[in-house]
Amino acid sequence: MTSSISSPPALQTPFQFLTSLRQASMATEDQKLNALFLPYFILPSHMTPLVDTARLFAARGVTVTILITQSNALMFQPSIDRAAAAGHRIAFHTIKFPAAEVGLPEGIESLRSVTSPEMNPKLAAAMPLLQKPMEQSIRDLRPDCIVSDFLYPWTVDIAEELGIPRLILSVTSCFYDCVFHSLKIHKPYEKLRSDSESFVIPGLPDEIEMTGSQLENYLKNEKESGDDGKFLNQILDSETRSYGVVYTSCSEIEPDYAQHYKNVLRKRCWHVGIPSLILEKDNKSNAEQQQHHSCLNWLDNQKPNSVLYICFGSMTRFLNTQLTEIAHALDESEQPFVWVVKKIGETDETGEETWLPEGFEERVEKSNKGVIIKDRAPQVSILAHPAIGGFVTHCGWNSVSEGVAAGVPFITWPLFAEQFYNEKLITRVLKIGVEVGSGVWNRGSKIRSPVVGKDKIVKALSCLMGGSEEAQEIRRRAREVSAMVRRSVEEGGSSSSNLNTLIEEIKAYVFRS
């Protein structure tokens, strides 16, 4: 049966909205909203913010079910168990991952668990196979609303079928959506003579300058974008038909763009706060139950704001030549560091790693000036440590929001996805970081863009970690932004109020008479 609510209701004035909300509140105050959350299974960077946001909804009295695959559920089970023990109504509904059908071993269900690059396309091939069982689970569970990752555009169809609202959980910033919209509308890149030429994006609150090489291929070459372009159009269509977008961000970070989004894009959005910050106490409690990571012990003996933290997320895979340049830069700068390398480079016949400069690890160990982590790192705890004075990052949104929450300034090194847009938010709008100078967008996480040389890296390190007036101003602003976002998640703050308002509005819409 097709519902009569094929699209969200028209945007109301603040007075109309508050009036309708008050009228509905008396009828709905005893009714419990039943929300179904749908994470994108193979990407840890997408799953974590969605599961964390589900916990925020449950803490506000919403009955929450998270539709997830079995092995992925195990990653988050401790936090869900703690939430349930605290009296929150939250649980997993698991479905089977089609591992055998795509030639994967049992238990390999996300990029976090892969053991070879050959597994990546098999993971991607599994996702279309999951649509039908997910749709059936949604029908069986009969939720009042759906909170979906944007990479499931088809969830808007089943929401319309069931007559329920569909919310999109964004895993990036409102700034990005505004910039991408302006690029799609105005197409300033079509006038460029070369990809190295820079241009200003029209129609935005700030003067944002980019180059052609920093833009996605499927944006610049829409006629030749193939499946990428088709999928992008499906996502954009589903956004238009959805009730609104939930941002794991704070309006204080991007106030002009939150307003621009509503006024120009004419869509609803809610900034509900940075989940890792809101759930900080619970996450600390969990961390205390685990073994204290050795890098934290090392950081305890370093001076405040003296250590550089280097991490490019869980997906990035650099060529050995790029890793070598980073090592040379650290060697030359003599900057204390914690460097997370998710996958080490090639080894020779003796088992020695060939990407490290000769004697590098021995010098680091002898001087005690750094730590190399070759596995997962407790990033939130590292960023929160007073010894950390800078964060070299690929500008993935989770890393950006965690760095912002910690008040740590950035050295930005974007590589793929929406990361070049996030860089502009950090360096041009918030002004809490410096750019290393990476300039070429990559289609995926296996990086093939030109190597950023040692000299560029050293220059960025010196700029941020030195004692110049520019560096001091960047640090001051980073602390200021951190204080703003922390206030926003407190009771009565903007993010806390936005979350309450969103839940009450959805309840009023779902339980309307």
Active-site positions?
A: 46, 149
DSSP E strands: which ranges in 225-301? 244-247, 269-271
Question: Residue 440 contacts by C-beta under 8 Å, 6 or more apart in sequence?
Answer: 213, 214, 449, 450
User: Angle between the 469-488 and 454-465 helix axes, to the nearest 10 degrees?
Assistant: 70
The side-by-side arrangement of strands in the sheet containing 90-95 is: 90-95, 63-69, 34-38, 145-149, 166-170, 244-247, 269-271
- Go through the chain and tell me how many residues it has: 513
Interacting residues of 450 by C-beta distance below 8 A, sequence separation 6+ = 439, 440
| Distance from chain centroid for Cα 399 | 7
Token pair, residue 358, equals 């000769």
Q: What angle do CA 107, 419, 264 make, to 5 degrees?
A: 115
How would you class 326 by CB atoms within 10 Å of its CB: exposed for 0-12, middle for 13-18, buried for 19 or more? buried
Structure tokens at 180: 């991408």
Secondary-structure breakdown of the chain: helix, strand, coil percentages, each rounded to the nearest 5: 50, 15, 35
